[in-house]
């Protein structure tokens, strides 16, 4: 089984990423950690606990992390995820408690005691992961790969040049990309096409179980926000692609490029500058997603929700 840690900022698509990870027999989840992003840190932590309660997963350690980026003020996404970070349906009150240690300390301790390398999946701003890498020099050897949802070659969603997760904490993203650890970057170029249409969401609703009813309500809210903001045809499920890739790397095609993170530009802060033509001659540092098997992806997600009904 592949050992993973999932660092997230739930968030509708993070919520589905948690459900997919928990449903996947091939993954051993060592812990779930949260970071501020889609909403403030207290809300993303609460949403992770509620999601796990919804699906009856009471034994996965959860730890809350940073509530602001390395520099500057936190930017959140209430226009996409609502004021709770998970608007659209009522989730149960948490029946589990977070650990009393900080996410970064939890990840460090967990990695150091792991008997094999661990895959870190990050579906929010990279603050926790960057601080972990700054804090411990030995930690790199314990990480198999960091799979992030963030950035794009062409697309953007929070400014005309940046994707949300990278934009919230570009300095952190720079630290992760320059760490020398293998990185896979699931980009908006692919995830904006991972659309669950209103019909797909109705199909989940028609499963009519305790989890599918809640998840379909949440996805409907997320879809409507994306239809309004971007003119999409439904809900782009960005984050679960990272988990799907951990389960089955063939679900996306990737290409290896050098990526720099713009931290200074007046209009371009948070842009992932991907050297597609190799013009900089810099060493490659990330596998970048270029396509997704959407039909298989939809089946995986629907199957995961069904499993917990
Ligand atoms: C990313 O931003 C967040 O709003 C989503 O949860 C996803 O991680 C997409 O740009
Ligand atoms: Ca996210």
Q: Which of 16, 75, 82, 150 to mutate to test the pocket of ligand 1 (most atoms within 8 A of CB)?
A: 150
How high is the pLDDT of residue 181?
98
Assign 3-class secondary structure to the chain: CEEEEEEECCCHHHHHHHHHHHHCCCEEEEEEEECCCCCCHHHHHHHHHHHHHHCCCCCCCEEECCCCCCCCCCCCCHHHHCCCCCCCCCCCCCCCCCCCCCHHHHHHHHHHHCCCCEEEEECCCCHHHHHHHHHCCHHHHHEEEEEEECCCCCCCCCECCECHHHHHCHHHHHHHHCCCCCEEEECHHHHCCCEEEHHHHHHHHCCCCHHHHHHHHHHHHHHHHHHHHHCCCEEECCCHHHHHHHHCHHHEEEEEECEEECCCCCCCCCCEEECCCCCCCCCCCEEEEEEECHHHHHHHHHHHHHHHC
Nearest-atom index, ligand 1, CA of 158: 10
Residue 18 Cα to ligand 2 middle (Å): 11
How high is the pLDDT of residue 117?
98
Query: Do residues 69 and 127 touch, judged by C-beta distance below 8 A?
Result: yes
Q: Please give the domain boundaries of the chain with CATH numbers for all domains.
A: 2-308 (3.90.245.10)
**Residue pointed to by tokens 């940046």:** 162
165 lines ligand 1 (CB under 6 A): yes
Our CA angle for 85, 90, 92, nearest 5°, is 100
How high is the pLDDT of residue 149?
98
239 lines ligand 1 (CB under 6 A): yes
How high is the pLDDT of residue 225?
98
How high is the pLDDT of residue 257?
98
What tokens appear for 50 in the block? 């509620």
Length of the chain as a residue count: 309
How high is the pLDDT of residue 278?
97
Atom 10 in ligand 1: which residue has the minimum CA distance? 164
User: For residue 46, what are the contacts with CB-CB under 8 A and spacing of at least 6?
Assistant: 94
Could you list the mean pLDDT of each consecutive 10-residue stretch along the chain, which spans 309 residues?
Answer: 98 98 98 98 98 98 98 97 98 98 98 97 98 96 98 98 98 98 98 98 96 98 98 98 97 98 97 98 98 98 97
Residue 112 Cα to ligand 2 middle (Å): 26
218 lines ligand 1 (CB under 6 A): no
Q: Is 105 buried (19+), middle (13-18) or exposed (0-12) by CB count in 10 A?
A: middle
Residue 238 Cα to ligand 1 middle (Å): 6
How high is the pLDDT of residue 268?
98
């Amino acid at each position: 089984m592949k050992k993973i840690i999932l660092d997230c900022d739930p968030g509708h698509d993070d919520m589905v990423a948690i459900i997919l990870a928990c449903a996947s027999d091939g993954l051993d989840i060592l812990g779930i950690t949260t970071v501020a992003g889609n909403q403030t840190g207290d809300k993303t932590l609460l949403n992770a606990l509620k999601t796990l309660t919804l699906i009856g997963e009471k034994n996965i350690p959860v730890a809350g992390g940073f509530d602001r980026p390395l520099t500057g003020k936190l930017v959140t996404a209430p226009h996409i995820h609502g004021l709770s970070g998970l608007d659209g349906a009522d989730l149960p009150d948490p029946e589990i408690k977070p650990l009393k240690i900080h996410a970064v300390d939890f990840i460090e301790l967990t990695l150091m005691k792991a008997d094999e390398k661990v895959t870190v999946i990050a579906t929010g701003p990279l603050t926790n992961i960057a601080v972990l890498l700054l804090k411990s020099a030995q930690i790199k050897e314990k990480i198999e790969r960091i799979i992030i949802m963030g950035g794009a070659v062409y697309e953007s969603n929070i400014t005309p040049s940046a994707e949300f997760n990278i934009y919230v904490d570009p300095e952190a993203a720079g630290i992760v990309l320059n760490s020398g650890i293998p990185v896979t970057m699931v980009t908006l170029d692919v995830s904006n096409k991972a659309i669950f249409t209103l019909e797909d969401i109705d199909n989940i609703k028609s499963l009519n179980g305790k989890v599918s009813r809640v998840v379909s309500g949440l996805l409907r809210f997320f879809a409507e926000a994306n239809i309004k903001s971007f003119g999409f045809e439904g809900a782009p499920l960005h984050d679960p692609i990272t988990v799907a890739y951990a389960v089955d790397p063939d679900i996306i095609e990737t290409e290896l490029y050098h990526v720099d993170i713009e931290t200074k530009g007046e209009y371009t802060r948070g842009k992932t500058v991907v050297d597609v033509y190799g013009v900089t001659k810099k060493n490659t540092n990330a596998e970048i997603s270029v396509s997704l098997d959407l039909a298989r992806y939809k089946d995986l997600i629907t199957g995961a929700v069904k499993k917990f009904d």
